Amino acid sequence: MFRSLPRLALVFAFLFVALDTSAHDHWIFGGGYRNAAGEWCCGEGDCFMIPKDQVRMTGDGYLIFGAEKIPFTEAQPSPDGAFWRCKRPDGSRRCFFAPPPAT
pTM over 0.75: no
Backbone phi, psi, residue 53, to 5°: -75, -5
Could you tell me where the beta strands, DSSP code E, fall in the chain? 47-50, 55-57, 61-64, 68-71, 75-77, 83-87, 93-98
Instruction: Indicate whether 23 pLDDT > 80.
Output: no
Of 4-8, 64-68, 92-96, give the lowest mean pLDDT range: 4-8
Q: What is the pLDDT of residue 94?
A: 93
Q: How many CA atoms lie within 13 A of 50 on its CB side?
A: 25
Q: How many CA atoms lie within 13 A of 40 on its CB side?
A: 11
pLDDT, tens digit (0-9, with 9 covering 90-100), for 45-89: 789 999 999 999 999 999 999 999 999 999 999 989 999 999 999
pLDDT: which is higher, 33 or 8 = 33
Query: Cβ distance 72 to 60 under 8 Å?
Result: yes
